[in-house]
Structures are given as C-alpha cells and as structure tokens.
A and B are shown apart, each in its own frame.
Chain A
C-alpha cells in the first residue's frame, strides 16, 4: 500500500521547489532594483543640491542683468556692460582683490609644493622615531577650525622670534600668503604622500645600486613619475588658498586695497548690503574653481585621498 503513495510525492515536492525558485528570482530582482534605486536617489539628492546652488547663482546674475538691460536706454549694451559681473570687474577695489588673490594663491601653492614634496617623500619612504607623531601633527591644519588657525598665527607673532618681524607681516600682504600656506600645505603634503606611496620603492633601490646617490635617485627616477601628483598638489593647494577666509580675516585683516582677497570681498560686499557684487565675485571664484578642477582632472592624478 505504501508503495502506491510514494510515487506521487516527489513531483509535488519538485513543483514546490520550482515555485520557491521563481519566488526567489523575483525577490532578488526586486531587491537589486530597489538597492540601486536607493543609491541613485540618495546620490542624486546631493548632486541636485550642488547643481542647484550654482544654478541659483547663475539665475540671480541673469535676472539682475536682464533687469539692468530693461531699465537702460540701450538694452543690449547694458546687458553686457551693466551686468553685476561686468560692474564688479570694473571696480578698482575688486580688480585689486582679484590680482592679490591670483598672486597670493599662486605663491602659497608654490610654497606648499616646495614643502610638500620633501616632506611627503620622507613620511612615505622612511621609518623613523616620532613618525606617527609627525603624521598626526600634519593633520592639525586640516581638522583645526580655520578661525583658530588665524588666531594662533596672530598670537604666535606676539612672541619672539616672530615678534621681530611682526610689523612686516601681521595685517600685511605677507600675512595673506602665510595664512593661506598654513592650511593649504597640509593638503599638499597628504597628496604628495599618497603619490609617493603609489610609486614602487624598488625603482629607487635599483637606481641606487646603479650608482645613484639618494638625491639622484629621487630626482631622476622618482620625481619624473610624481609629476602628475605634483600637479594635483599644486592645484589643490591653490584652490584651498582661494577659499581661505577665516584665518585671513583675523591674521591679515580686511583692509580694502591692501589685504583684500576675493573671499574677503564677498564678505565686505555682503556687509554693506551689496549682494549683487557679492554674488558677482562669487561667480568669479566659481569660474576659477572650475578651471582648477579641469586642470586637476586633465593633468593630475586620478585618485586623490582628499
């Protein structure tokens, strides 16, 4: 009797398994779709925020330009010459601030690279006592609130030996460069360290066995390969310097035609209620940032740790 019952059981179980299998397929497909949908939505929200910020600036500028054009007798001419950016560019104070920004950022970026290349190489290649401490100290400018950097610089110049040159630095143009350098350099060092970490140390070992001094091995074998990383470090330091504001305000002051850089201009124009000029100067900085971004992507390393 029992043998009659048995044959009917396996196919039933098989059908069940097939049903279960189909259900699993659907569940997995749905789950995967939901997973990527969530990734897209979360990522997209942030992307939208970034694009909206820039779009708002641009829209605001366009609106003001059109309004200026409508009010003028010669609309077309007014649209190009009376728009907020054109007016900002023709302002002598803002021209000065653009020039000072360009020069101070370039100087601080070059100084940062000059320090970052040897320092990055040292911590990437060599083990020594106190290396972990040095590594931690190098992170201080990155994590420290910017205002604190400025205040600390100001206080530092109360004491010798810095006090002896304080008159030529504090609230002067050199203070602008020093404040920018203090923070930008830390980013440049990180970039250079990761650049050197990616270069096979065996190449230098071979160069040394071929008769190179350490300096020759560094200059002939390592540096040429590190050029992309150096480009990234340079542009990154430059962009950091351009955005520097808090330390500048405290350590270099915000004197027009003297220590005023673009970020200071935005602040000063906002303070006197001239939002148009503030936005116009911001747009100039956006353009500079985009140029830096393009340079880094085109000629720099693909992977930065920052």
Chain B
C-alpha cells in the first residue's frame, strides 16, 4: 500500500501542496499529468530521492517519510532506463541481491525466473550497448523487481517506445503485477496506457491530485 498524505514540496518557483493519494495493496495506480506538472517530483518523493517540506509517506503501514531511499525497498524504473554501463543484463538482475548478500543459488534462480518472465533470457550476457528501447526497459524492470519489492514505482516507462512495443509492454506489466503481487505506481501522460493498466487513476493538475474511478477497457 502506498499512502501519501498532505505532502508539500517546494523547489524554486515550483510548488506542490497537500498532495494526497492512496494505492491499495496489490493495486496498480497510475498518476497522470502534463509534462512539467510534477509527476516525477511526486514519484521521487515517494522513493526518497527528494526531501519533502511537509506531510507523510507510508508504505505498507510503515512511515517512511524520513527513511533513507536505500531502506525503503521500492523498485524504481526510471524514464530512460538508466541502465548501468559496462554491466551485463545478468549483473543488472543480480545487482540488488548482491547488495543484500544473497546466496549464489538464490541469485541464479531469481535471475532465471525474471529473465524468463520478461523474455530477456537470450540477452543475459549482453551489455546495455545495442539493446533496443523495449529490451532496455525490460532489463530496467527486471532490475527493479529483482529483490521482490512490495512497492514498484515506474516513471514513464513506456514513453520512449514505439506503439507496438508499448502494447507488448502493457501486456507484460499487466502480467507482472499479477505474478509479483507488488503495489505499483506508474507515472504517464498517455491516456490509453492509463486506461489499460490502472486500478486507481490519479490526475495531477495545477498542483492538485484528483482521484478518478477507472473502468478498464
């Protein structure tokens, strides 16, 4: 569960006040808004990459407002993938588990499971150089899911993809949320994507977040 209550953020001229949103456990939340409206800012605040000026953030009933981002346990898929240059796809999928000193077997099992789930098993020994946009985003997704986070934040993960790949990725995301049972928060400016995926839909407009009902197509 992701609960944001009365969050306010100020950065120069830009300000968000009294942001409230709740994504129930296991649900797929989509936050919509125009470019520059502050969607990424909200996401970064939940991730802990940005300090907030007021309000609270709770994940699964735990107050994480002041917690270091490394301890929040949120999977993060950034907009452009931000893959680690020089590391193989396998390294990406194992990275979070290496940090957590997991056993070799556990790592191998998880890498195998994820690479099959995401359809990137044939890419395991490749580096990010030369991966297509869709492949890169699958790797970024796998890296974020690798340590079985309870919460996953996706920042416009499909915006740089062509329409066909985007539809495939939407299906994949739908499949993953059922399989991995994580609470997801997905930021986008694409209405089709939002309607396709969202259990709960939030619209950010003029610094205010509005919660809408979404009847899936």
What is the interface of chain A, defined by CB distance below 8 A to chain B? 200, 202-203, 205-213, 216, 220-221, 224-225
Contacts and interface: CB of A to CB of B under 8 A. Distances in A.
10 contacts: A202-B78, A203-B83, A203-B84, A205-B49, A208-B69, A209-B47, A210-B95, A210-B144, A216-B99, A224-B86
B85 interface: yes
Interface string B61-75: 000000001111111
Contact of A211 (B49, B80, B83, B100): B100
Given A200-B82, A202-B78, A202-B82, A208 B49 contact: yes
B26 to A, nearest CB: 20
Contact of B74 (A202, A209, A212): A209
Given A205-B49, A205-B78, A216-B99, A210 B143 contact: yes
A242 to B, nearest CB: 31
B96 interface: yes
A212 B99 contact: yes
B80 A225 contact: no
A220 B94 CA distance: 13
Contacts of B146: 210
Contact of B96 (A200, A205, A210, A213): A210
Interface size classification for chain B = 20 to 34
A290 B73 CA distance: 51
Nearest to A199: B85
A209 B82 contact: no
A224 B91 CA distance: 13
Interface of B: 47-49, 69-76, 78, 80, 82-87, 95-96, 99-100, 140, 143-144, 146-147
A205 B78 CA distance: 9
Contacts of A208: 49, 69-70
A205 to B, nearest CB: 5
A206 B70 contact: no
A215 to B, nearest CB: 11
B64 to A, nearest CB: 12
A209 B70 contact: yes
Interface of A (DSSP majority class) = helix
Contacts of B76: 205-206, 209-210
Contacts of A207: 84, 95
A232 to B, nearest CB: 17
B84 A221 contact: yes
User: Which interface residue of A208, A211, A212, A220 has the most chain B CB atoms within 10 A?
Assistant: A211
Nearest to B99: A211
Given A211-B70, A212-B70, A213-B70, A206 B82 contact: yes
B69 A225 contact: no
A200 B81 CA distance: 11
Nearest to B140: A206
Contacts of B80: 200, 202
A210 B84 contact: no
B87 to A, nearest CB: 8
A225 B48 CA distance: 25
A225 B147 contact: no
A207 B95 CA distance: 9
B147 A211 contact: yes
A209 B75 contact: yes
User: Which interface residue of B82, B87, B100 has the most chain A CB atoms within 10 A?
Assistant: B82
Contacts of B143: 206, 210
B116 to A, nearest CB: 21
A131 B11 CA distance: 19
Contacts of B95: 207, 210, 220
B100 to A, nearest CB: 6
A226 B162 CA distance: 32
Contacts of B84: 203, 207, 221, 225
A249 B207 CA distance: 64
Contacts of A216: 99
